[in-house]
Amino acid sequence: MDMHELTRELHTKNDAKVVMLVADGLGGLPIEPGGRTELETARTSNLDALAMRGVCGGSIPVKPGITPGSGPGHLGLFGYDPLKYRIGRGALEATGVGMEITDRDVAARCNFCTLDAEGRITDRRAGRIATEKSAPLAVKLRDIRIDGVEVFVEPVKEHRFVVMFRGEGLGGNVADTDPQATGVPPLAPVAHDERSKKTAAVAAQFIEAARKLLADQPQANGLTMRGFSAHPELPSYDEVYGLRAAAIAVYPMYKGLARLVGMDVVGQAATLDEQIDVLTEHWDKYDFFFIHFKYTDSTGEDGNFDAKVAQIEAFDAVVPRVMKLGPTVTIVTGDHSTPSFLRSHSWHPVPTLLVSDCCRPDPCQSFGETACLGGGLGQFEAKYLMLLALSNAGRLAKFGA
Amino acid sequence: MDMHELTRELHTKNDAKVVMLVADGLGGLPIEPGGRTELETARTSNLDALAMRGVCGGSIPVKPGITPGSGPGHLGLFGYDPLKYRIGRGALEATGVGMEITDRDVAARCNFCTLDAEGRITDRRAGRIATEKSAPLAVKLRDIRIDGVEVFVEPVKEHRFVVMFRGEGLGGNVADTDPQATGVPPLAPVAHDERSKKTAAVAAQFIEAARKLLADQPQANGLTMRGFSAHPELPSYDEVYGLRAAAIAVYPMYKGLARLVGMDVVGQAATLDEQIDVLTEHWDKYDFFFIHFKYTDSTGEDGNFDAKVAQIEAFDAVVPRVMKLGPTVTIVTGDHSTPSFLRSHSWHPVPTLLVSDCCRPDPCQSFGETACLGGGLGQFEAKYLMLLALSNAGRLAKFGA
């Protein structure tokens, strides 16, 4: 049973405020046997104080052993079963750069690449071309006209851009054209179902037209497309939880994800401190705040243990500013683990804490992977976290008589 | 998958006896930061001794964060998925006052109320009229005759009574007539589906006839109906578990719930000691005993921490009498938590222990919320508890070859 069938029926309104602080890729691993994780190494007196007051546990992003991408990781935290709701990477990225994706649209992530004279890929990322050079090229591709569809192109960063086709009968099930190798040409777009044949044909026309427009480019004279995806059908936070929700994020993808579940993306912030400024400004206007901190993940992906420790400490440092606002429920978690040891996302449970006046305290005296094992939240699937947030906020009525 | 598909296939018979002691609303919260819960405060040497011998854990009544009513709370303990089986309040209350509800019946909870000369409610509970006065009025309503259906009326307590209609084609999907406000008249009964139109029409006739019979009453001259519900389809304990099961409860609702899953409600007991007398008398005739203790919940709902502590100690005191009978499996749990701090049911996991010759002991040295966090049962959904009861009783065969 979808938990939203319950929350729709049971949610109530009050003045409670819920803050969910998401340190991306928070969970880690020791780099040597018997060692401590990044979180356990970091000095986090503020998070430790919350762990003492609150209840801790381990969030399993999807199912044990499943490593999620950012999409499923966040959907789980937002209470949307990540096995039920699938968001294509293209749709996510499109939303993240502010494109309004509708149910007539299919989006794809694109990379500029370098092709040799025979059309074979020599660099899958066009030499990681600078954004100043690549962005005008993406804009140039807006000139492409295809019968029966509208074409939208947005630059992202370096070699990356997004293409979105709008029209009738566009399915999202088209295979990636990136061969994940050099020395071979990009693959042709192939539809995986009947509904997506038109999309594949449109994509092929787009690629052909783009090749002509880019022919004189030294680095970015070709492109690959991946993550084709139609608009995902996600019910909104307001509808399923009765929450006016705001997202405060720096990176486009997390803004995009929050928009897909109906959160307002508020403020312009480049640093964590600025994010808390935005939180403070919007405090009275929303019931729920999702605050996304990226750098615990990116340092983990770089395999930089010490840098991840430093980012966790930077994250810890803003906690008092959040608590000063007096949230009814404060949650600290991550969308998945990103151990520097693995230099990638992982399946390990994510240290999670929840503080409210009516959480049942547990023996946890600090915030870390091992301490959380003895915590009162136990190990739980991330998709249940929003139920706990609502009940601790007094916004969920009794189920049944 | 419904666990009953497994238990139907795997259950076996033997001479084992299973006792499930349910202290309603057992779980609690500290009333001050860093304090102990009610159960942790109570002196429970007998329960502590069981915790040392047995295995402990935390029972999640429905799903994390979901606060159950008594119906879903008990269905979970009985092994019936509370999200799959929904029992209407009317059906539950009817069964609880000893009405035999069949698949041709629809029951509703009714309140006597006070109406002014214009038919507007001035008191939704008829001044909480004394049972001595209200019971004869409910009995008087048995005189009402409606074409095509039989009418049954049973007094409950104070302003409350139950009405049950028996006949063909009566759906249970009718809206409450209680407007949840004073100064307005009761709502007319409205059917939510085609099958329930006859029920709504019958209810309207009943209300009209009742108004005439009650017209001269100073307090109870009107009524509201709510929780309309048809007979829930619950498979029996005998069918799904192969258990001859007996329920020993003081309060009607818990007797009713036990009857709905096919337990025999045995004995007449007003105190816990009398309940154990009944247990002793019926020891040889049943395989499974459900013993319900109400006052841990009612003291919690009163917000009376000390009284709940005292009730837990009273509950602890009868444990030796139960153990003297030599049950093969003894379970102590609750249907949900009722922290005095919240004065209501809550979502917090319920301390649970299981003792048998073949449970795997764990480090728990006492019975309490924090101790249970380190217990061998972990945190588990209540619906799995009956599987553990059966396996520890040697009544569940191997699954698969």
SS3 per-residue string spanning chain A:
CCHHHHHHHHECCCCCCEEEEEECCEECCCCCCCCCCHHHHCCCHHHHHHHHHCEEEEEECCCCCCCCCHHHHHHHHCCCCCCCCCCCHHHHHHHHCCCCCCCCEEEEEEEEEEECCCCCEEECCHHHCCHHHHHHHHHHHHHCCECCEEEEEEEEECCEEEEEEECCCCCCCECCCCCCCCCCCCCCCCECCHHHHHHHHHHHHHHHHHHHHHCCCCCCCEEEEEEEEECCCCCCHHHHHCCCEEEECCCHHHHHHHHHCCCEECCCCCCHHHHHHHHHHCHHHCCEEEEEECHHHHHHHCCCHHHHHHHHHHHHHHHHHHHHCCCCEEEEECCCECCCCCCCCECCCEEEEEECCCCCCCCCCCCCHHHHHCCCCEEEEHHHHHHHHHHHCCCECCECC
Smallest CA–CA distance, residue A10 to chain B, in Å, is 9
A400/B344 Cβ within 8 A: no
Residues A136 and B382: their CA atoms lie apart, in Å, by 60
Distance from C-alpha of B376 to C-alpha of B363, rounded to nearest angstrom: 8
Nearest CB to B370 within list A358, A363, A377: A363
Q: How far apart, in whole angstroms, are the C-alpha atoms of residue A231 and residue A170?
A: 11
Task: Please check whether residue A393 touches B, CB under 8 A.
Answer: no
How far apart CA A396 and CA A126 sit, in angstroms, is: 52
Contact B65 A390 (CB under 8 A): yes
pLDDT at B95: 80
> Are B92 and A401 a contacting pair at CB < 8 A?
yes
At B264, which helix (H) or strand (E)?
A: strand B264-265
Closest-CA residue in chain B for A376? B373
In 3D, which of B106, B85, B57, B6 has the Cα closest to residue B349?
B57
**pLDDT of B166 above 90:** yes
What residue spans of B270-351 are helical by DSSP H?
272-281, 295-301, 305-324
Q: Are A399 and B82 a contacting pair at CB < 8 A?
A: yes
Query: Position of tokens 């002691």?
Result: B21
The Cα–Cα gap between B104 and A352 comes to 50
Alpha carbons B70 and B330: distance in angstroms, whole number: 22
Amino acid (one-letter) located at B58: G
Beta strands in B116-244 (DSSP E): 121-123, 150-157, 160-166, 222-230
**∠ CA A329-A334-A336 to the nearest 5 degrees?**
145
What pLDDT does residue B329 have?
98
| Cβ contact B65–A1 (<8 Å) | no
Q: B84: which chain A residues are within 8 Å (Cβ-Cβ)?
A: 1
In degrees and rounded to multiples of 5, residue A108 shows phi and psi of -140, 145
A374 interfacial to chain B (CB closer than 8 Å)? yes
Which chain B residues are within 8 Å of A374, Cβ to Cβ? 373-374
Interface residue of A2, A56, A360 to substitute, partner B, most B CBs within 10 Å? A360
Q: pLDDT tens digits for B76-112? A: 999 999 999 998 889 988 987 888 888 899 999 999 9
| Strands A288-293 and A18-23, bridge-based pairing | parallel
What residue has token string 């921490």?
A: B305
Burial (CB count <10 Å: 0-12, 13-18, 19+), residue A102: exposed
Check if B32 contacts A (Cβ < 8 Å). Answer: no
A348 neighbors A337 (Cβ within 8 angstroms)? yes
Q: Is A83 on the interface with B (CB under 8 A)?
A: no
Report the residue of chain A nearest B36, measured CA to CA: A361
Question: A366 CA to chain B: closest CA distance, Å?
Answer: 15
- For residue A89, the model assigns a pLDDT of 85
Please tell me if residue B69 touches chain A, with a CB cutoff of 8 Å.
Answer: yes
Comparing CB atoms, the residue among B69, B345, B378 nearest residue A378 is B378
Q: Which residue type sits at B179?
A: P
Predicted confidence band of residue B251 (pLDDT cuts 50, 70, 90): confident
Tell me if B245 sits within 8 A of B238, measured CB to CB: yes
**Is the CB of A181 inside 8 Å of chain B's CB atoms?**
no
* Nearest-angstrom CA–CA distance, B274 and B268: 8
Q: Does A378 touch chain B (CB under 8 A)?
A: yes
- Which residues are CB-neighbours of B346 under 8 A, at least 6 positions away? A358, A391, B27, B29, B67, B336, B337, B338, B339
Contacts of A371 in chain B (CB under 8 A): none
State the DSSP code for B142: G
Closest CA to B344 of B294, B303, B292: B303
A361 to B87: CB separation less than 8 angstroms, yes or no: no
Measure CB to CB from residue A358 to each of B64, B342, B379 and give the nearest one. Answer: B342
**Complex ipTM:** 0.89
| Nearest Cα residue in chain A from B374 | A374
The tens-digit pLDDT sequence of chain A (401 residues) is: 889 999 999 999 999 999 999 999 999 999 999 999 999 999 999 999 999 999 999 999 999 999 999 999 999 999 999 999 999 889 988 987 888 788 899 999 999 999 999 999 999 999 999 999 999 999 999 999 999 999 999 999 899 999 999 999 999 999 999 999 999 999 999 999 999 999 999 999 999 999 999 999 999 999 999 999 998 889 999 999 999 999 999 988 899 899 899 999 999 999 999 999 999 999 999 999 999 999 999 999 999 999 999 999 999 999 999 999 999 999 999 999 999 999 999 999 999 999 999 999 899 999 999 999 999 999 999 999 999 999 999 999 999 87
Which chain A residue shows the shortest CA-CA distance from B73?
A: A400
Contact A112, A159 (CB under 8 A): yes
| Chain A residues touching residue B71 (CB < 8 angstroms) | 400-401
pLDDT tens digit string along B209-222? 999 999 999 999 99
**Long-range contact set of residues B260-267: C-beta below 8 Å, sequence gap at least 24:** B260/B87, B260/B91, B260/B92, B260/B95, B260/B232, B260/B234, B261/B75, B261/B78, B261/B80, B261/B234, B261/B235, B261/B236, B261/B237, B262/B234, B262/B235, B262/B236, B262/B237, B262/B238, B263/B237, B263/B288, B263/B290
Instruction: Report the first-to-last Cα separation within chain B, whole angstroms.
Output: 20
- Return the half-sphere exposure (C-beta side, CA atoms, 13 A cut-off) of residue B77: 33
To the nearest whole angstrom, how far is the Cα of A12 from the nearest Cα of chain B? 13
Tokens encoding A218: 């030294």
Residue A20 corresponds to which amino acid?
M
CA distance B242 to B225: 38
B contacts of A389 (beta carbons < 8 Å):
65
Quick check: B334 contacting A, CB < 8 Å?
Answer: no
> Tell me: the pLDDT tens digits for B29-58?
999 988 999 999 999 999 999 999 999 999
Pairing of β B288-293 and β B245-248: parallel
Task: State CA B50 to chain mean position distance.
Answer: 25
B346 at interface of A, judged by CB pairs closer than 8 A: yes
Q: Does the beta-carbon distance from A387 to B34 stay under 8 Å? A: no
pLDDT at site B88:
87
Which positions 48-67 of A are in contact with B (Cβ < 8 Å)?
A: 53
Determine contact, residues A121/A115, Cβ cutoff 8 Å.
yes
Tens-place pLDDT, residues B340-373:
999 999 999 999 999 999 999 999 999 999 999 9
**Residue B283 has what DSSP assignment?**
G
User: Locate tokens 């399993």: which residue?
Assistant: A60
8 A C-beta contact, residue A12 and residue A396? yes
3-state secondary structure of B241: helix
Q: How many CA atoms lie within 13 A of B180 on its CB side?
A: 3
Provide the shortest C-alpha distance from residue A46 to chain B (in Å).
17
Q: What's the whole-model pTM score?
A: 0.89
**A396–B64: do the CB atoms touch at under 8 Å?**
no
Residues of chain B with C-beta less than 8 angstroms from the C-beta of A331: none
> Residue B115 and residue B207: Cα distance in Å, rounded?
13
List CB contacts (< 8 A) between A396 and chain B.
Answer: 65-67, 347
- B31 inside 8 A of chain A by CB: no
d(CA A135, CA A330): 39
Nearest residue to B139 (alpha-carbon basis) of B192, B181, B97, B190: B97
Of B64, B71, B339, the CB nearest to A400: B71
B373/A363 CB distance under 8 A: yes
* CA-wise closest residue to B254 among B96, B382, B107, B91: B96
Q: Please identify among residues 192-221 of chain A the ones whose CB lies closer than 8 Å to any CB of chain B.
A: none
Q: Is the minimum CB–CB distance between B88 and chain A shorter than 8 Å?
A: yes
Is B69–A384 a contact, with Cβ atoms under 8 angstroms apart?
no
Q: Is B348 on the interface with A (CB under 8 A)?
A: yes
Is A401 in Cβ contact with B69 (below 8 Å)? yes
Closest residue by Cα to residue A99 from A143, A159, A150: A150
A–B CB contacts, 8 A cutoff, strictly below: 91
Distance CA B379, CA A373 (A): 12
Any chain A CB within 8 A of the CB of B74?
Answer: no
Q: Hey, what amino acid is at B357?
A: D
pLDDT of residue A354: 98
B37 touches chain A (CB under 8 A): yes
Matching residue, tokens 């140039």:
A140
> Quick check: A401 and B342 CB within 8 A?
no
DSSP label of B119: S
> Taking CB atoms and an 8 Å cutoff, what residues of chain B touch A363?
370, 373
- The confidence score (pLDDT) of residue B231 equals 87
